[in-house]
């Protein structure tokens, strides 16, 4: 039989169709009817925010309790070396919390007080802007999340954050975690971490660990819901944001 180019192409075309049929049918067969949904009890908001009412913190023990509840729940290691320590929420003196605000005539009671600082989950976050892999990204509800699986450890986000809110795992954190909470992963060497507004707790209908431990000193809620406690406080009190002039639009507000 004389095989022409045309015959060859016809045969090749039909064979390709035949070979392609099985995967196509497999895909169309569907099979499982699975889906992924949000838990019905999950807390939802248009824009999560927090008010830190420093007037409600009476002692250092109050602050320590709040910090401990967060660090325990999230397996935050205690590195010991202040240069390399990992912290999601911690304390700073007034002049370090609001460096643009303090002056020689600040009252002593404020000057000598420790303030609670954490990631501000900014509305215009520079850390998200600079991340080359979008390992850190801003969710629609305002939370700035870390994806530990994607982070390449370039630390650009740490450089970009004007609030020093991010920590890097310079070493393997596991040996430095006193008691591992099995309900939350640890991290590994070479990734950046920070406060995540307890998004894993919000997904199960729980308030953030620090808010629960704060006895009302931390108020958490939806900024865009005027009926929320956060909305009510912000419309009736004078509040400060850290480094407000930089335009990152932080969503953590302070009552001094």
Q: Among residue numbers 145 through 174, which ones bind another protein (CB under 8 A)?
A: 145, 147-156, 158-164, 166-170, 172, 174
Q: Which is nearer to another protein, 116 or 234 (CB)?
A: 116
Residues 104 to 123 in contact with another protein, rule: CB under 8 A: none
**129 in contact with another protein (CB under 8 A):** yes
Sketch the per residue contact string, 17 through 46, with another protein: x for CB under 8 A, - otherwise.
--------------xxxxxxxxx--x----
Which tokens belong to 42? 């999950």
The minimum distance between CB 234 and another protein, in angstroms, equals: 24
State the pairing for strand pair 48-53/218-222: antiparallel
What does each C-alpha distance from 186 to 87, 149, 165, 211 come to in angstroms?
13, 12, 18, 22
What does each C-alpha distance from 61 to 64, 67, 68, 114 come to in angstroms?
5, 10, 10, 11
Q: Which is nearer to another protein, 128 or 233 (CB)?
A: 128
The minimum distance between CB 218 and another protein, in angstroms, equals: 21
Out of 179, 227, 235, 238, the residue judged to bind another protein by CB under 8 A: 179
Separation of alpha carbons 23 and 29, rounded Å: 10
Separation of alpha carbons 165 and 148, rounded Å: 16
Q: Which is nearer to another protein, 56 or 170 (CB)?
A: 170
Q: Which is nearer to another protein, 48 or 234 (CB)?
A: 48
Residues 189 to 228 in contact with another protein, rule: CB under 8 A: 189-192, 199-200, 203-204
What is the per-residue burial (b if ≥16 Cβ within 10 Å, else e) of 19-50? Answer: eeeeeeeeeeeeeeeeeeeeeeeebebebbbb
> CB-based contacts of 212: which residues, under 8 Å, 6+ apart?
69, 206
**13 in contact with another protein (CB under 8 A):** no
Nearest to 144 by CA among 217, 238, 50, 239: 50
Nearest to 97 by CA among 163, 160, 194, 167: 163
The minimum distance between CB 255 and another protein, in angstroms, equals: 20
Out of 62, 68, 111, 141, the residue judged to bind another protein by CB under 8 A: 141
Which tokens belong to 15? 């064979």
Kindly indicate which of the ranges 18-26, 177-185, 210-218, 221-229 contains the residues binding another protein, using the contact rule CB under 8 A: 177-185
Out of 62, 85, 224, 225, the residue judged to bind another protein by CB under 8 A: 85
Q: Which is nearer to another protein, 155 or 232 (CB)?
A: 155
């Amino acid at each position: 039989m004389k095989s022409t180019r045309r015959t060859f192409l016809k045969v090749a075309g039909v064979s390709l169709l035949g070979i392609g049929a099985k995967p196509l049918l497999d895909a169309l067969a569907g099979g499982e009817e699975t889906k992924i949904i949000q838990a019905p009890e999950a807390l939802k908001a248009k824009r999560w925010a927090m008010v830190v009412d420093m007037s409600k913190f009476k002692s250092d023990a109050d602050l320590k309790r709040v910090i401990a509840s967060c660090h325990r729940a999230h397996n935050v290691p205690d590195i010991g070396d202040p240069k390399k320590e990992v912290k999601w929420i911690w304390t700073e003196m007034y002049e370090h919390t609001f460096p643009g605000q303090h002056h020689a005539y600040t009252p002593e009671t404020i000057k000598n007080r420790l303030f609670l600082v954490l990631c501000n989950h900014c509305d215009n976050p520079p850390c998200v802007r600079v991340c080359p892999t979008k390992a850190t990204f801003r969710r629609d509800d305002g939370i700035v999340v870390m994806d530990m699986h994607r982070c390449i450890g370039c630390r650009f986000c740490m450089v970009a954050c004007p609030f020093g809110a991010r920590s890097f795992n310079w070493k393997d954190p596991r040996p430095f975690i006193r008691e591992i909470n099995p309900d939350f992963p640890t991290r590994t060497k070479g990734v950046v971490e920070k406060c995540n507004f307890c998004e894993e707790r919000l997904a199960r209908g729980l308030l953030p660990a620090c808010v629960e431990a704060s006895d009302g000193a931390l108020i958490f809620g939806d900024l865009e819901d005027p009926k929320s406690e956060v909305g009510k406080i912000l419309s009736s009190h004078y509040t400060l944001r850290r480094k407000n002039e930089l335009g990152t639009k932080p969503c953590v507000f302070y009552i001094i």
